[in-house]
Structure 1
Amino acid sequence: MIRTLIADDEPLIVSGIRTVLESAGDIEVAAVAHDGREAVLAARRHRIDVALLDIAMPVMDGLAAAAELAGTRVVLLTAFGGADNVRGAVRRGVSGFVLKTCTPDELIRAVRAAHAGHAYLSPAVARQVLDLAAPGDDERGRDAARRLAALTAREADILALVAQGLSNAQVARRVHMTEASVKTYVSRVLAKLGCANRVQAALLLRDATSPR
């Protein structure tokens, strides 16, 4: 079971999310919280696998709470996908960014993806995230190029497909490899680049290739 925490200052929202997650069969809501500080304490106390945090919470917002939850996968839940929020989420290495208008299936997919170590972005914000790095500045572009130079040709090919938003299974079909092999490659690429997740790696690639 995936042990989850729901943190939102609106009880009705918490109740709705709980109903959705517990309908999945493989997700357990182990704790709830109504502000960011309470969320951090609850996540540590209950050994949470995935924390769903509303961005706009009292005491401590979701972004600040995410920064204190090292070792816990975080999916940010918000009613809006402003550029500052998305940028802050990516910088903190969160595992997902989902709008409150998402479907129940999408919310469940986000939790499962985060638990598996993948990044998940609502389609509504995926393009916005990729656009954050364009146009890039010269220094950032040079740094990205230096880091990418450490990749082998095969690793670079895998990264290019990951940056298009393809899943491991889709990448495997493109490059005629097993999904397990692709997963190994992706892990190696993230480690070499010093990226917390696939979204950060995609942004790094955009930094290196954006016109300046």
Structure 2
Amino acid sequence: MEKEERKENQRTRLTKRLLRESLLGLLEEKPVERITVKELCERAELNRSTFYAYYQDVVQLYYEMGNELVDALLDYVRDIGADRVQTEPMLAYIKERREMFALLIYNGQFMDMNAPLQRRVFEETIRYIWPAGAEMSVAGPEWKYILQYMFMGGSGLIHRWVRDGCDMEPAELAALLGGLTETLLRAAPGLARQKGKKA
């Protein structure tokens, strides 16, 4: 019985690996919403009933893979153990897995905040750095918009970097992001005070 279960688990792992590799290959050719179960199964050399034993549709498989990638990135950032995000190691991690990030996180979507994977990264980032607003005496509503601005700008730079083949070293991009962020954070309390004077 145990031997049969082990064989079944091995078969499941192999099937899922074939489906994942096939999906990555197809994502190099077209966005996920244009990939059909039929062509995915043909690429994996599996029948459709096998696919439907594990997934409802191609998008479910895509999000499973993407969520695992996001989970791994967030775990990595947490494991660094710093009291703030260390950008350079995070960028090095992304660079090592550039193809996966390009195909799963940025596949045909430029910072679409309705995309569940990008939304998750945004929400985790906000949760991580929200306390800094109080330390700088920036009001909650203003801080929310400042964080959105910083996240969209920073994510846009990382998106471009990934799509361009990581053409800068992680240290260089980290320094660029750090400089831009520091400039904005230095200006934020002053902007808040100016707003208060006008009111």
Question: Larger relative CO (CA 8 A, sep 6+): 1 or 2?
Answer: 2
- TM exceeding 0.5: no
Higher helix share: 2
Structure-2-length-normalised TM-score: 0.28
Higher strand share: 1
